[in-house]
Structure 1
């Protein structure tokens, strides 16, 4: 096991990667490094190529690969990427600065992928409009909306089967 892999063990021992036996973990590491063929990886973990293929199709093995990838990327690149983003906040382009700010907010959990300030305002307006409609419907049912010049809407468009 390489020095970087020993550091990973200290990061956290929970999740699918750490639930696998040492051979499967080693296979995941070798697959991630992408330096050996599947045949060589299978030999390295003392299993047949068909066994490695079976592992690669297993949902838990796939989840463990994803977890390992996230751990390695986080450990090796997260702080460097964040430093670069902070530097981009001073870019000449307003669009670059905006995209950078949004990315940092998303990373911090303060904004989701489905969230922008304009979209959030639109969602609030929609919720308020839906509340107004619901209030009007409730008033209509209780008779609070009665006026001298009320209009009754009739839905006279129906299915041909209803006739």
Structure 2
């Protein structure tokens, strides 16, 4: 396991107020004005910190370490989708994401993914055509019922002897 303090070297070189500001900026729950007040500085001071290269580097390092803690859960979720999703498309996309992260191709495009998209499009077309056939049959049936009703009305209009 990599020591997180080594990954966050610049962050730990900063004073406590700047470290707190970086954490609060990352969490994105407070305005800059609220963050400045929390670290007992002015909004202008926080603005100046945000322009400082060392502060920016510390933000990048902190973000990387904070996000790294979410990666194992994301991989577990992708694995669960790849092996247990009811939709083949979802399974394929999850598997492609895992392979891409492992350095075996791109998530954005692959022959398998493109083929799956084509198959889905074909299935969508078949469904639309089937629905159109049903509507056409219903319309024909409704027309036949209307024609039959018209004939009955004509027969009823004929005077009896």
TM-score range, shorter chain: 0.5 to 0.7
Alpha-carbon distance in structure 2 between the residues aligned to 1:114 and 1:83 = 20
- Displacement of 1:36 after TM fit? 2.9
- Superposition map of 1:28-43 within 5 A: 28-43=22-37
Distance 1:17 1:78, change over 3 A: same
**Structure 1: 5+ residue runs without aligned partners?**
1-9, 119-163
Stretches of 4+ aligned residues off by more than 4 angstroms: 112-118
**Residue 94 (str. 1) matches residue 57 (str. 2):** no
Give the CA deviation at 1:85: 0.6
Task: Name 1:126's counterpart in structure 2.
Answer: none
Cα distance change, pair 87–80 in 1 and its aligned pair in 2 (3 A): same
1:104 Cα deviation after fit: 0.8
Asked whether the 8 Å contact 2:96–2:106 carries over to 1, the reply is: no
Deviation at 1:45, TM superposition (A): 2.1
Gap change, CA 1:49 and 1:18, over 3 Å in 2: same
- Match for residue 148 of structure 1? none
TM-score (norm 1): 0.53
Confirm or deny: 8 A CA contact 2:81 2:94 kept in the other structure: yes
2:44 is matched with 50
Equivalent residue, structure 2, for 1:142:
none
Q: Which residue of structure 2 lines up, in the alignment, with residue 79 of structure 1?
A: 72
The structure number with the bigger radius of gyration is 2
CA RMSD of aligned residues (A): 2.7
Counterparts in 2 of 1:85 and 1:68: CA distance versus 1, 3 Å: same
1:149 is aligned to: none
Paired residue total = 108
TM-score, normalised by the number of residues in structure 2: 0.54
The 3-state SS of whatever aligns with 1:89 is: helix
Q: Does 1:22 align with 2:16?
A: yes
Structure richer in helix, relative to its length: 2
